[in-house]
């Protein structure tokens, strides 16, 4: 059986048994573009697909879906099994689940994880630009073929020899600090503050983003270089030790800002300093402080 | 037809660039954008559709409306004076390489910002100072549907000067006096014949007013919006989306000083979560489905009702830029089919 039919069968079974109310996966739209799909009825399970364009990280939809289910529970009724949603994840996406579990965004029993043994995603996926069939750069250096957390595994994970030597960062580290500033400012200059990078990110889940406050407290509203620089650098810091490298931020950027360079620079620093890789286990980033109570702050590492 | 060679055109652009702002399609890293260029050497001659429309030249992402300076403050309140200075756009500018869909976008913007009181003086000033040199598209791209909305790949009606590329020369059509003035005393060569007709896509059906109103409460909107990221790409790449926010902000100063303020307006979008939030924190469009419904209703129903033109030119940018494949043509098709089913 193909992964597609396996996912469809699992979707049907989870919905038929009433174990979950929604399965979040992938479908192919009328233009042939692969896109997120939300399945509620067993009969719709046949819309589900798995292909080499399933690039989207679907984990951000999990919290959203759980919240909307919670909002729609009639007053007086408490938890039911209906509160569980299922989600299809690749290995990189699955690490986002671990980070969110560690940050208590939802609990493990609220999400049924359909893990897929990934063989890499192609360039141009999601936009119908899969012209050359080459794997995305992040997939070429990725050796994780099995999700780190799942309830059911689809496919047989293949062993791959891939080494991430962070050589993509050489173009930055070879520069002087001044040249690096110049490089980034010229990149941020294109930003239009559409916030797609933030909206698509599983880790960008603040109810009010500090870069979008009505009172311009930390950064103004202007779509100008100063504000754009503050936004991008600030966002990168907030992802330190939390970014799982799904690279959705860079994929969705209409202005092709190489956001992954920022995130990976910090990823390497955090791994070197703390031996921490985001989401490999369900533990919070060592750079995150957790307020346990009103009495004090405990450091997590 | 009158023709101009590439070299003549380049010289004309260089000449224009020396006396005014020249905006043209150019490659910024890998991204095709309309940007101010110092000379014709920077122009991307063989270009399709820039990622962003040309609207930013008339409706910038950030525009300073006025500055406020507090002067004469020596501690005695009586001496304090506020200097308000309106920011007025003075430069003449030429946008080269405007595609017909973007030019038509300006017509749609005019309906609200110029032709409806109160006139938007900032837009009006820029509009008056801007001359558009259009270039016809030889064929429609896979996401283009301009012909469905009354436009065409060679529609010259909304530019001042229309060029149609024929191998290595351009056919020139002077549309307005402004366009003629740009050419100055340049002598154009005459060739027999006319430029070839562009290759067209099949037109799409456009939903009727009734289709929009009768399907307002349809579950379709919530289903469509489930995958929506609530980002603003679709609005920001659009040649007609023109929502903005206005705020008074402190101007970053080199010294610690609180006396210099600026009133700015910036692009905003109804797809953003907080767009419709009102005082007290209530958000009448808190659901994604409500927001997308508004976006599409605005384009095809509200805006035409209020200002007489459809707020979409069929450029297809939002289709190509949406990371989760929310497709305006799919929406149109759904509304048309549902409406047909209902009226049978």
Interval B3-48: pLDDT, tens: 999 999 999 999 999 999 999 999 999 999 999 999 999 999 999 9
User: Nearest by CB to A221, which of B28, B245, B325?
Assistant: B245
The contact set of A with B (CB < 8 A) is 29-31, 33-38, 56, 61, 126-127, 186-187, 190, 192-196, 198-200, 212, 214, 216, 220-224, 226, 248, 251-252, 254-256
Q: Answer yes or no: is the ipTM higher than 0.85.
A: yes
Report the C-alpha gap between A123 and A52 in whole angstroms.
Answer: 9
Probe site for chain A from B36, B142, B231, B237 (most A CB atoms < 10 A)? B231
Q: pLDDT at position A79, please?
A: 54
Report the C-alpha gap between B101 and B81 in whole angstroms.
Answer: 48
pLDDT at A301 over 50: no
User: Nearest by CB to B320, which of A127, A190, A223?
Assistant: A127
Nearest to B161 by CA among B98, B240, B92: B98
CB interface of B with A, residues 97-156, below 8 Å: none
- Residue ranges of chain B with pLDDT lower than 70? 73-78, 252-258
What are the residue ranges of helices labelled H in chain A? 3-16, 59-71, 91-102, 137-140, 170-173, 177-188, 196-200, 225-238, 248-252, 259-274
Query: How many Cα atoms occupy the beta-carbon half-sphere of B312 within 13 Å?
Result: 26
Q: How far is A217 from chain B (nearest CA, A)?
A: 10
Inter-chain contact B62–A224, Cβ cutoff 8 Å? yes
Q: pLDDT at position B76, please?
A: 64
Q: How far is B300 from chain A (nearest CA, A)?
A: 22
Report the C-alpha gap between A193 and B261 in whole angstroms.
Answer: 22
Task: Name the pLDDT band for A295 (thresholds 50, 70, 90).
Answer: low
User: Nearest by CB to B323, which of A193, A196, A256?
Assistant: A196
Contacts of A199 in chain B (CB under 8 A): 229-231
Task: Name the pLDDT band for A216 (thresholds 50, 70, 90).
Answer: confident
Does any CB of chain A come closer than 8 Å to the CB of residue B49? no
In the block, tokens 């059911």 appear at A152
Q: pLDDT at position A281, please?
A: 95
Q: pLDDT at position A174, please?
A: 93
CB interface of B with A, residues 285-304, below 8 Å: none
Residue B254, number of CB atoms within 10 A of its CB: 5
Report the C-alpha gap between B52 and B158 in whole angstroms.
Answer: 18
DSSP element (H, E) containing B113: helix B100-113
Contacts of A195 in chain B (CB under 8 A): 231-232, 272
Task: Name the pLDDT band for A56 (thresholds 50, 70, 90).
Answer: very high
Contacts of B325 in chain A (CB under 8 A): 29, 31, 33-35, 126
Q: pLDDT at position A299, please?
A: 54
Please report, rounded to a whole number, the percentage of residues in chain A having pLDDT higher than 90: 82
Residues 6+ apart with CB under 8 A from B217: none
pTM, full prediction: 0.94
Burial (CB count within 10 angstroms: exposed 0-12, middle 13-18, buried 19+), residue B213: exposed
Report the C-alpha gap between A284 and A100 in whole angstroms.
Answer: 8
Question: What are the pLDDT digits (tens) for B174-212?
Answer: 999 999 999 998 989 998 888 989 999 999 999 999 999
More confident residue, A297 or B55: B55
Task: Name the pLDDT band for A297 (thresholds 50, 70, 90).
Answer: low
Inter-chain contact A194–B252, Cβ cutoff 8 Å? no
Q: What average pLDDT does the segment A34-57 reach?
A: 98
Structural domain spans, chain B: 2-343
CB interface of B with A, residues 163-222, below 8 Å: none
Nearest CA in chain B to A212: B274
Nearest to B176 by CA among B165, B190, B162: B162
Q: What average pLDDT does the segment A117-145 reach?
A: 94
Nearest to B311 by CA among B295, B332, B288, B293: B295
Backbone conformation region of residue A112, classed left if phi is above 0, alpha if psi is from -120 to 50, else beta:
beta
Query: Using the 8-state DSSP alphabet, how is residue B192 labeled?
Result: S
Q: pLDDT at position B73, please?
A: 62
């Amino acid at each position: 059986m193909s992964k597609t039919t396996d996912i469809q069968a699992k979707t049907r079974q989870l919905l038929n048994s009433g174990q979950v109310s929604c399965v979040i996966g992938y479908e192919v739209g009328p233009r042939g573009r692969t896109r997120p799909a939300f399945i509620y009825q067993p009969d719709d399970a046949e819309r589900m697909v798995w292909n080499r364009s399933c690039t989207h990280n679907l984990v951000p939809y999990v919290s959203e879906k759980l919240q909307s289910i919670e909002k729609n529970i009639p007053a007086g009724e408490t938890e039911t099994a209906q509160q569980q949603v299922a989600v299809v994840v690749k290995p990189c996406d699955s690490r986002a689940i671990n980070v969110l579990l560690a940050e208590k965004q939802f609990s493990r029993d609220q999400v049924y994880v359909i893990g897929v043994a990934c063989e890499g995603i192609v360039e141009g996926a999601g936009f119908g630009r899969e012209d050359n069939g080459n794997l995305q750069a992040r997939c070429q250096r990725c050796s994780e073929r099995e999700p780190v957390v799942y309830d059911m595994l689809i496919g047989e994970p293949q062993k791959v020899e891939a080494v991430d030597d962070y050589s993509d960062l050489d173009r930055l580290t070879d520069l002087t600090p001044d040249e690096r500033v110049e490089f980034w400012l010229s990149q941020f200059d294109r930003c239009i503050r559409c916030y797609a990078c933030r909206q698509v990110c599983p880790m960008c889940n603040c109810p009010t983003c500090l870069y979008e406050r009505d009172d311009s407290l930390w950064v103004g509203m202007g779509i100008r270089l100063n504000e754009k620089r503050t936004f991008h650098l600030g966002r990168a810091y907030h992802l330190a030790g939390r970014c799982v490298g799904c690279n959705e931020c860079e994929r969705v950027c209409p202005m092709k800002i190489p956001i992954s360079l920022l995130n990976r620079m910090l990823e390497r620093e955090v791994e070197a300093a703390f031996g921490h890789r985001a989401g490999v286990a369900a533990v919070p980033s060592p750079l995150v402080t957790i307020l346990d109570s009103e009495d004090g702050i405990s450091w997590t590492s | 037809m009158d023709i101009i060679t590439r070299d003549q055109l380049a010289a004309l652009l260089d000449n224009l660039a020396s006396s005014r702002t020249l905006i043209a399609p150019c490659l910024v890293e890998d991204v095709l954008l309309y940007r101010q260029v110092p000379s014709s050497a920077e122009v991307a001659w063989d270009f399709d559709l820039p990622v962003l429309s040309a609207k930013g030249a008339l409706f910038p992402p950030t525009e300073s409306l006025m500055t406020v300076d507090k002067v004469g403050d020596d501690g005695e309140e009586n001496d304090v004076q506020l200097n308000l200075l309106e920011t007025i756009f003075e430069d003449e500018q030429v946008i080269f390489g405007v595609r017909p869909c973007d030019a038509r976008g300006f017509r749609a913007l005019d309906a609200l910002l110029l032709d409806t009181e109160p006139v938007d003086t900032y837009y009006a000033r820029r509009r008056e100072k801007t001359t558009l040199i259009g270039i016809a598209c030889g064929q429609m791209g896979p996401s283009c549907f301009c012909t469905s909305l009354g436009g065409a790949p060679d529609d010259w009606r909304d530019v001042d000067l229309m060029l149609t590329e024929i191998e290595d020369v351009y056919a020139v059509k002077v549309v307005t006096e402004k366009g003629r003035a740009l050419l100055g005393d340049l002598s154009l060569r005459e060739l027999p014949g006319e430029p070839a007709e562009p290759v067209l896509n099949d037109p799409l059906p456009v939903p009727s007013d009734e289709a929009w109103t009768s399907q307002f409460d349809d579950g379709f909107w919530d289903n469509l919006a489930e995958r929506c990221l609530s980002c603003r790409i679709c609005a920001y790449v659009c040649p007609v989306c023109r929502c903005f926010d206005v705020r008074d902000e402190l101007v970053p100063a080199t010294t610690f000083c609180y006396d210099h303020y600026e009133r700015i307006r910036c692009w905003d979008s109804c797809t953003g979560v907080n767009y419709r939030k009102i005082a007290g924190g209530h958000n009448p469009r808190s659901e994604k489905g409500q927001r997308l419904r508004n976006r599409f209703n605005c384009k095809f129903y509200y805006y035409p009702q209020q200002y007489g033109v459809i707020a979409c030119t069929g450029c297809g940018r939002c289709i190509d830029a949406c990371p989760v494949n929310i497709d305006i043509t799919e929406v149109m098709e759904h509304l048309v089919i549902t409406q047909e089913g209902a009226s049978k």
